Structure 1
Amino acid sequence: MTVRQLRPVDAGFAESAPVRLVFSGELAAPPGAVYRALADETEAWPRWFTAVSAARPTPGGREVRLRMGGRFTETILRAEPDTRYTYRVDTSTTPGPLAGVEDWRLTPAGGGTRVSWTFAADGSRPFLLLLKASRPGLARTFTVSMRRLDRRLAAPSAR
């Protein structure tokens, strides 16, 4: 697989990217627990995020492998405990992307947490068309993954 370097962008790209897919849902877990799962428990992502097969922290970021075979590295752009976790995709084995940011926002909601995930990207025309067409699948991945994360956070022995 060829590793491609993506264009470096800042956290504001999550608001200005040519394609922005936004998904949200509510978890029973409090914002602090959700934030820790996102930002601090990198190696546990495969246990709850259905698209991820492996994840490990790197200095200033992470390396992630997807179940479908893709691999990428990320740089953390924003780490605001209990509220926001944003990272940029720096390299990818997926053909087509030119820049990418994922932005997770957490807000208290009814004793739990409202989670909003923005998947922001720029890329070749075929990549952007495919990404837009993938919206229903990404929505399902988000919904199932949030349910799995909520169950995981409700069972401290599973951590």
Structure 2
Amino acid sequence: MELDFLESAPVRLTFGAALVAPPDAVYRELAEHTEDWPDWFSGLVVASRTPEGRQVRLSGGGQFWETVLAAHPSVRYAYRTDHTNAPGVSALVEDWHLTPAAPGTRVRWTIATDGAALYRALVRAARPALARTFRTSMRALDRRLVLPKR
């Protein structure tokens, strides 16, 4: 499974947000500061680097082992799930696109996935909750990046 899955996935959810932080700062948080994701991404408990990419654990116990597919500084960060304990998942790619936009960055997060019929239905039904998680997380990330460090 590669980046072309983003176009062919049976379930594709896309969310967007405007941040004040510049694209280079947002990209560094996404791609280089893996261990800090739980500080700003709602529902994420642990994120750690692996030789291929990263491993993450969600508050509900879900775990994902991911391989980075694209890492283009200040522009794009994408990864696929190679293994998960989440039932019904057969394919999952997440793609983060960053676009300069006054005064900072336009962030677009795409989730492309496939799996058992029940899993696909649950992901579609979870769209509103995922949208809230994304908005909350982007606000937290922006605060983290634009407020003075103490």
The TM-score range, normalised by the shorter chain, is over 0.9
Matched, 1:46 2:13: no
Matched residue count: 150
Question: Following TM superposition, by how much is the alpha carbon of 1:29 offset from its aligned partner in structure 2, in angstroms?
Answer: 0.2
Relative to structure 1, the CA distance from residue 64 to residue 128 in structure 2 (aligned partners, 3 Å threshold; closer, same or farther) is: same
**What is aligned with 1:3?**
none
Unaligned residue ranges in structure 1 (runs of 5+): 1-8
Letter in 2 for 1:129: A
**What is aligned with 1:105?**
97
Question: Following TM superposition, by how much is the alpha carbon of 1:110 offset from its aligned partner in structure 2, in angstroms?
Answer: 0.8
- The match for 1:10 among 2, 23, 33 is 2
**What is aligned with 2:48?**
56
Unaligned residue ranges in structure 2 (runs of 5+): none
**What is aligned with 2:59?**
67
2:121 is paired with a residue of what secondary structure? helix
Letter in 2 for 1:27: L
**What is aligned with 1:6?**
none
**What is aligned with 2:28?**
36
**What is aligned with 1:123?**
115
TM superposition score normalised by structure 2: 0.98
- Percent identity (aligned): 56
CA distance in structure 2 between the aligned counterparts of 1:95 and 1:89, rounded to whole angstroms: 13
Give per-residue Cα distances to partners, 1:81-113, cap 9 Å, x unaligned: 000000000000100010000000000001200
Hey, which bits of structure 1, 4+ residues long, moved more than 6 A?
A: none
